[in-house]
Amino acid sequence: MQFGIFSVGDLTTDPTTGRTPTEQERIKAILTIAQKVEEVGLDVFATGEHHNPPFVPSSPTTMLGYIAAKTERIVLSTATTLITTSDPVKIAEDFAMLQHIADGRVDLTLGRGNTGPVYPWFGQDIRQGIPLALENYALLRRLWTEEFVDWEGQFRTPLQGFQSTPRPLDGVAPFVWHGSIRTPEIAEQAAFYGDGFFANHIFWPASHTAKMVGFYRQRFEHYGHGTAEQAIVGLGGQVFMRKNSQDAVREFRPYFDNAPVYGHGPSLEEFTSQTPLTVGSPQEVIDRTLGFRDYVGDYQRQLFLMDHAGLPLKTVLEQLDLLGEEVVPVLRREFAKNRPATVPDAPTHASLVAAAAAAAAAPDGAPVASPIAVS
């Protein structure tokens, strides 16, 4: 199972000091945090994509390219890449390029984005959000899997004999997750292609996440990619830890109360009880996180939101130390218990290359080891 963090990339005033970092300070802090992810033994760093302040990451592959050069092991990912408003041709090229630079340590999570004006800024209509996500992804896949593409769709200018460049590393496209908070059509899309489904999880009650993941698993099986338990599931999570639970609550409360997303609304206690947010000791984080399996089943990727709401870099790095030293080793051990051998790991570049080779070697119509690889 993979563990990591996802960053929204908000530039927020620290409510305890009143200080707002500069854009460059914030961007450099994100790059430092990503390197810390590798240092403390986690597996994945994912960045958001936004095109409006107070968010800074408008150009994820630029950031991830830098992080690729500074790290050796972690998977570089996104949370999320805007499949609605970005040109699928540019996504195909940017992420294939990043694959080559990062020696394949790349996957991506597609999302629709939720800021109304971004659609018209990029020449689109938010009411077409789902059709855009479907059509653009259909094209993105073809750009990665076919050398020359003829294309005509509803939203993008047609392509005749277009070849995106560079070609995916080793002829294998990056693994794709489809991210959603509450849209069943996106879970259906992920299931149809046998791709991963990443449930945001942190902005809705667990009961909704359970419903969405259950739906995705059922449809994954329906489309013949494997059994429901073999579907590839990722979850978000959100934690703040100190050795003593009370210290964590005291320190995090002003950040919670003023956070851009949920600030000035429900109390920290209400939000904690209604969403996966956990503020407390490492042991409390371990217990809560292990509980996720109770309602989504054995899953492949757990990403935490730790870097947001104006938390200073020093604090975020301390959080990562706690996560890497005290929490994730226990989670790895406990999640491995009673995990059926038939539940796959999240696909990596190496596993996809191996699966593609196996598929190529297999006689026509023969079943292949991994349902993920052929899609």
Contact (CB, 8 A) for 175 and 196: yes
Binding window for another protein (CB under 8 A); candidates: 22-30, 43-51, 115-123, 141-149: 141-149
Q: Which of 14, 93, 170, 185 binds another protein (CB under 8 A)?
A: 185
d(CA 374, CA 236): 27
Binding window for another protein (CB under 8 A); candidates: 76-84, 177-185, 291-299, 361-369: 177-185
In whole angstroms, how far apart are CA 168 and each of 103, 131, 144, 247, 305?
11, 26, 6, 47, 29
d(CA 20, CA 95): 32
Query: Count of residues binding another protein (CB under 8 A)?
Result: 39
Q: Residue 218, CB half-sphere, CA atoms under 13 Å: how many? A: 7
Q: What x-and-dash track marks residues 329-368 binding another protein by CB under 8 A? A: ----------------------------------------
How near is the Cβ of 310 to another protein at its closest, in Å? 18
**Does 54 sit behind a cis peptide bond, omega within 30 degrees of 0 on the bond before it?**
yes
d(CA 265, CA 272): 13
Identify the burial level of 119 via C-beta atoms within 10 angstroms of its C-beta, where 0-12 means exposed, 13-18 middle and 19 or more buried. Answer: buried
224: its two tokens: 């013949």
Q: Which of residues 41-60 bind another protein (CB under 8 A)?
A: none
How near is the Cβ of 203 to another protein at its closest, in Å? 6
Contact (CB, 8 A) for 44 and 2: yes
Residue placing its CB nearer to another protein in the complex, 107 or 135 = 135
Specify the DSSP class assigned to residue 237. Answer: E
108: its two tokens: 């991506």
Q: Which of 182, 288, 332, 339 binds another protein (CB under 8 A)?
A: 182
Q: Which residues pair with 176 in a beta bridge?
A: 108
Q: In a 3-state reduction of DSSP, which class is residue 343? A: coil
Residue placing its CB nearer to another protein in the complex, 264 or 337 = 264
Q: Which of 41, 54, 65, 153 binds another protein (CB under 8 A)?
A: 153
| 150 lies in the binding site for another protein (CB under 8 A) | no
| 191 lies in the binding site for another protein (CB under 8 A) | yes
How near is the Cβ of 300 to another protein at its closest, in Å? 21
How near is the Cβ of 373 to another protein at its closest, in Å? 12
| Torsion angle of the four alpha carbons 106, 290, 272, 229, in this order, in degrees rounded to the nearest 10 | 60
Q: What is the largest CA-CA distance in the chain?
A: 65
Q: Which of 14, 54, 171, 193 binds another protein (CB under 8 A)?
A: 193
| 134 lies in the binding site for another protein (CB under 8 A) | yes
Binding window for another protein (CB under 8 A); candidates: 45-53, 228-236, 269-277, 336-344: 269-277
Name 203's Cβ contacts closer than 8 Å, sequence gap at least 6.
181, 261, 275
219: its two tokens: 């449809």
How near is the Cβ of 257 to another protein at its closest, in Å? 12
Q: Which of 203, 220, 256, 304 binds another protein (CB under 8 A)?
A: 203
How near is the Cβ of 189 to another protein at its closest, in Å? 4
Main-chain phi, psi angles of 154, to 5 degrees: -85, -30
Nearest to 207 by CA among 275, 158, 260, 139: 275
How near is the Cβ of 72 to another protein at its closest, in Å? 33
How near is the Cβ of 131 to another protein at its closest, in Å? 6
| 184 lies in the binding site for another protein (CB under 8 A) | yes
Q: Which of 146, 247, 325, 345 binds another protein (CB under 8 A)?
A: 146
Q: Which of 215, 254, 329, 357 binds another protein (CB under 8 A)?
A: 215
Q: Which of 188, 213, 279, 303 binds another protein (CB under 8 A)?
A: 188
d(CA 34, CA 11): 16
Q: What angle do CA 57, 349, 40 make, to 5 degrees?
A: 60
Contact residues: another protein, CB under 8 A = 131, 134-135, 137-138, 141-142, 145-146, 153-154, 181-182, 184-185, 188-189, 191-193, 203-205, 208, 211-212, 215, 261-266, 270-271, 274-275, 374-375
